[in-house]
Amino acid sequence: MKKATLLVNLIIGFHFMYGQSPDIEWQNTIGGNSSDLSYCIQQTSDGGYIIGGDSYSGISGDKSNPSNGSNDLWIVKLDNAGVVEWENTIGGGKYDLIYAFEQTADGGYILGATSTSGISGDKTEASQGSSDYWVIKLNNNGEIEWQNTIGGNSSDDLRAVYQTPDGGYILGGYSYSGISGDKTEASAGEYDLWIIKLDQFGSITWQNSIGGSGSDLLYSIQMTSDGGFIIGGNSSSNISADKTENSIGLTDYWVVKLNSDGLIEWQNTIGGNNNDILYSIQQTTDGGYILGGYSLSGISGDKTENLIGGSYYGDYWVIKLGSSGNILWQNTIGGSSEDILYTIEQTSDEGYILGGFSLSGISGDKTEDTLGDNADFWIIKLLSNGEIKWQNTIGGSNDDGWCAIHETTDGGYIIGGWSISEISADKSEGSMGNFDYWVVKLASECTPEPEVCNSLDDNCNGLIDDGITETISITAGGPISFCQGGSVLLTATYTGASVQWKKNGTNIPGATSTTYNVTTKGNYTCVTTSACGTAESTPIFVNVIKNPNASISAGGPTTFCAGGSVVLTEVAVAGCTYQWYKGATPIAGATSLTYIATTSGNYKCRVTKAATGCFKNSNAIAVSVPCREGELIEENNLFSIYPNPATNSFTISAELNSNSNSNLEIYNQLGQIIYSIEINNTDGIISELIQFENQPSGIYLVKIFNNNFQFEQKLIIQ
């Protein structure tokens, strides 16, 4: 496995470059005044944790219940920060050990224990042999709901328990008993695997004793996706009884696949020339299986790598099987001393997490020295192909043993084991008695990403915000040279936390957005700033071209009768062209400095710089042609109303170019005529007092009609 191809080496090199062991998030030393040894831990549905093992302590430290016998089961419930919520001591008068539990669908717990106790303490059934399976159902507060003592006339040790989809339970362990008590099959040799299926109330529905002529032990069982079961253990049996393959060494891994009724579908004996002990097995997402244990074998049999170290236990030995039990790959992992793997499981990223303990210093695969005089936790993360991604040696100055590890919902890991270490190295709490439960929560794995300024170690190299160089650039959304009145939008692309726009090196007040709209000439830059540094963009010069001057004047009156005219003149500007407009419409052909206006309208001239295309519109001059040729124009007629505003009467006066009488009409706001009178004039002069009584306040329209002319004024009555 270690003789990888160049491609694999490059891949692994990448991960070693960036792969970093997660930090310890929190830890808790839990115990009483004697020895408390934890073997199993699990995250619970509320985000907390359940930890279990056996305890020799009485009421002391964290322990609130007295001992029932030599040692008892001790179940401790923690919240998500590792603080004890409740604990329960469960046992009889002798030895009671727990190696497995699982939270059940109802929020309670199923415990798988081995007991030598008779009826005593919490134990309600007599012992059937020297040791029995002891199955206990707890509610979510840790109180016993029911229990069942299951065994034959000799030793029966329960090592695994799982709830099945039908609400029942599968039990796995090993038995030395023949047909007796609850055991319905004779022993095939020495110890045999003993699989029992319970219903939801703990009653046996079926059982199967599986073994050969030697000793066969079960340490792990799991339900498979097809409704059957996968069993992991070890065997010293040759071909005999249920065993279809001879022993390869002293003790071998023995994997057995059962169907949903507990009958053997296939099996595989895997080993080398010495002792190989399988402790943990799990079905993987590809339908195969991952095996974890330890091996003292060198290259021999199924073993493809030499022993790295150790004389009694050896090295971690990890094997990946296909769905039919064939070996896909394997990896021997260890240092120069004893390394014992207890748990392995597939992680959410398709890799694997390994938990055990190690006595090795830096040697072989081990990259960290021992932290004390004895064993430390040794956590290893593998890639999906079995190569090491990262590892972590966790411990104190003394002995830290066992190591159950599971991935948590936040992507971290929870570790349960025991420790006798005082405050030292990774241990932040002293021993409470002899051995104590030691729970360690690891943070989620660091996933390598480009380093950015965020107070995090994004690239997983152990340094926070290292090598950060903030960057910024600005771009223009259009031409950066334009005429007065135009603009261009500048946009900044940056890595910092904030930006500040500058013009000619000076901050522009309030210009702190990603974009800035430029309307004036200058050098523009943008600065980005963060806790990690500052950077300024390359400048963009914006050129705003000045528009030419434009101004027109009239050469005479701008109000005249038809047939008249007025000359409008634009002030000459060098290098420019001219275009006259009436209203918003250009006048065809009107491109000289002057224009003769003969009709009513608003006139202006657009002056355009030929070299730049920039232009400016002149002021506007209104020309009015209100009358026919020869008639007195309105602006020279005097028509007035006084007083205005008025109350009950007012006087109108007008000077007309006519001696004929005129008609006066007054209209209300609805356009209705409410007053009408004929008025005489003398030599074209009108002066008439109008009595306008009892009219409501408001605005009225007064009109005078004389021949073809009409004059009008507004009247306010108050």
Angle subtended at Cα 317 by Cα 313 and Cα 321, rounded to the nearest 5 degrees? 145
Calpha distance 301→279 (Å, rounded): 19
pLDDT value of residue 3: 31
Contact indicator for 424, 53 with CB cutoff of 8 Å: no
pLDDT value of residue 19: 56
The pair of structure tokens assigned to 613 is: 């295309």
The pair of structure tokens assigned to 120 is: 């005593």
Name the residue among 129, 105, 106, 99 with its Cα closest to residue 117.
Answer: 129
Q: Exposed, middle or buried by CB within 10 Å (0-12, 13-18, 19+), for 48?
A: middle
pLDDT value of residue 23: 92
Per-residue DSSP letter, 612: T
Name the residue among 236, 243, 228, 159 with its Cα closest to residue 194.
Answer: 159
Distance, first Cα to last Cα, the chain: 107
From residue 53, alpha-carbon distances to 86, 145, 219, 238, 572 in Å are 15, 20, 16, 34, 103
Name the residue among 72, 68, 10 with its Cα closest to residue 35.
Answer: 72
pLDDT value of residue 630: 36
Q: For the chain, how many residues are written?
A: 718
pLDDT mean for each 10 residues of the chain (718 residues)? 33 42 95 96 98 97 95 98 98 96 98 98 97 98 98 98 97 98 96 98 98 98 97 98 98 98 98 98 98 98 97 97 98 98 97 97 97 93 97 96 95 97 96 95 88 85 87 97 96 95 97 97 97 95 96 91 88 96 96 94 96 96 70 51 86 78 87 87 81 88 81 84
Phi then psi dihedrals of residue 465, to 5 deg: 50, 40
pLDDT value of residue 638: 64
Name the residue among 19, 31, 21 with its Cα closest to residue 416.
Answer: 31
Contact indicator for 634, 607 with CB cutoff of 8 Å: no
The single residue listed with the structure tokens 């005129």 is 662
Calpha distance 130→117 (Å, rounded): 9
Q: Is 650 helix (H, G, I), strand (E, B) or coil?
A: strand
**DSSP-assigned letters across all residues of 294-311:** EE---SBTTB-S---S-S
pTM, 2 dp: 0.68
Calpha distance 149→241 (Å, rounded): 27
Calpha distance 370→377 (Å, rounded): 10
Q: Exposed, middle or buried by CB within 10 Å (0-12, 13-18, 19+), for 234?
A: buried
Q: How many helices (H) and strands (E) does the chain have?
A: 1, 52
From residue 697, alpha-carbon distances to 271, 648, 669 in Å are 115, 10, 11
Name the residue among 655, 640, 641, 636 with its Cα closest to residue 564.
Answer: 636
Phi then psi dihedrals of residue 636, to 5 deg: -95, -10
pLDDT value of residue 648: 87
Calpha distance 621→560 (Å, rounded): 14
